[in-house]
Chains A and B, each alone.
Chain A
Amino acid sequence: MSIDWEVVIGLEVHCQLLTREKLFCSCPTDFGAPINSNTCPICLGHPGVLPVLNAEAVEFAIRAGLALECQVRERSVFSRKHYFYPDLPKGYQITQYELPILEHGKLFIEPESGAARTIGITRIHMEEDAGKSIHMDTGATLVDLNRAGVPLIEIVSEPEMRSADDAVAYLKALHEVVRYLSVCDGNMEEGSFRCDANVSIRPRGQAKFGTRTEIKNMNTFRGVQRAIEYEISRHIEVIEGGGAIIQETRLWDEGAGRTRSMRGKEDAHDYRYFPEPDLPVLVLDPAQVERLRGTQPELPAAMRKRLVSDYGLSPYDAGVLTAEPVLARYFEAAVAAHRNPKAICNWVTSELLGRVSATAVDACSVTPHGLARLVALIDDATISGKIAKTVFERMMETGRAPDEIVEAEGLRQVTDTSAIEAIVRGVIEANPVQVSGYRSGKVGLKGFLVGQVMKQSGGKANPGLVNELLDRLLGEG
């Protein structure tokens, strides 16, 4: 009979900050620049160089910490972490060890399975990224230091997750927060959002933690899911088979669907941390922290709540609209221009997202104002919903304003009752078979008649009026 195992998972996430410059020097941080073009003596680790802290990076770190409800440490200290590797130019990384800038936060997660709840965040600290090693088939390794010195925040969770679902939910929630704050672009493929997982198991009810292993190299949410599930099974199999888990770092092999031990590839690390003598203590101005707190952008979870309670949208729609920060901002801008959130929501989720991806709405030729105007034109009966779809197409193609298109193409809805009545009478006269069929109970034929009227009017008759008039005139006969 197998034991009732409890899984214990903690996650460490490294986020590259979207600052203009590197953490300790003024080199640019753009991804994909030519090899070693974003370097200077400081990030190359030349003799004699000294670090100077980037103010923007501090601000971004604080914003992330405030969004995750952390306590801001007024005094935090940078430390050196030593190890030898070709992509670490100084032979040490400048990080924060004993006294990180942020601590004791939390993040609300809603896992696929398992209870929705908050997960504690132990700490967030600032550190510099290392460069990139490119391993060649020739047996050599090439080193590109463009990434060396790029600012990172490392977000460490409490070991409070209990399943792979929990872990993925946490990651997705965290991913959303940092992108909404514009402190990190969350691009897992490019490596700007990297996750390591610490996994262990213990018999349920036992207080002592089991031996944990660390998993690296998970590059997608799906990969995280699979890797953690695999590792949990592996732990169970080993322990139930009478063996013991070795504390080690393992790499996820996406292709093979398994983790592999890194043992033998590196000596046990003695990082020899000590406070960075080239940097003063980081003392934050409480007024600056309060200013940042007061100017935090709205976070997605709060926004979803508001869309449901204030605008009456469904939770599903609220979820779609907030999936990407640019989309959320697009929606809000449209609603600000014309307050019909439900209609705007429908247009965004069906028509707009049917043609443009959520991340590309900023570049779309239909602007939030344009979309809002389109909905306004429907609401004041200038055009029908159906015609509006045509106008929308034109807006996509040409980028012109909806009013312009309506005028230029004569798409104004016909609301003149007598004009429509004339068409309706004409259609009734011209289609006696369908008319008598409808009158004898085949109610489906009304659609045909409506269609005929719309066709006659070039699609411009107000559908509501058409229905009303048809009902009246058909009822009369």
Chain B
Amino acid sequence: MYLVTTSHLGPDARRTSAASEALDRGDLTSSELTALLDAFVEIDPADNEVHDPHVIVTGRGAKLIIRTSRGRLQVYDVRDHAAPAVEMTVAGVLQRLDRVETTSPFAQAEELPAPTAPHHGIAFAMLALGLILNGYILYSVFYVESVNKKVEVKLLTDADEIKAKEATLAGIYATGAKTGDRVIEIGAAGQVHFYEIGAKGPINDLKDTYRIGRRDGLLCVTTTDSGVIDLVGDTLVYYRDVYQRRRPSP
């Protein structure tokens, strides 16, 4: 069934009627609509020009405005005002009215070519890559691998043990007693003194502080700025040189 309204059309739809501006003809069957449209195309061209008669038909699939021109039907889609008129036969009009869109309203959008994505993603990726690369280069430039490696020392925590070890450790240790030999003086209160026996007295004189700890289970002295001194029996080992304890003169 088709809901039909005519405008400026007489009852038989074959003539115009200035009086019947809009006439609701109710629901028509396809054959009734066919008869109406067949009559409508035969309308007098002069009257047609003056009164602009037209038929508005609502079907399952479309709502159309139909005009006539030179014996042909000019069909407009109500939902698409901008679209130009399409010339159709009566059968074509019926087909158009019955055609139900089965695709989802989103189908059109899905079928549309994807909008060209702005290149922000690529630009951002390039920027990030550039920054990472710059960071890596600068890090590698300013990172200095030192020959003075950090040594893991587990410091003693027992106050009594520390005091006892410091007392035992305190003393003067040396690689020898001639010019060029080196001396390490360990105090009982956490001070350590390094120097070399020079021609005219101590040279390369350096004072530091120390704490006692263990490295690989062995006792050692770790200093603030001078690295680690290993304790091996009654001797010290510092940068692979052995320092013997100097016995106090009798």
Q: Do A and B bind each other?
A: no
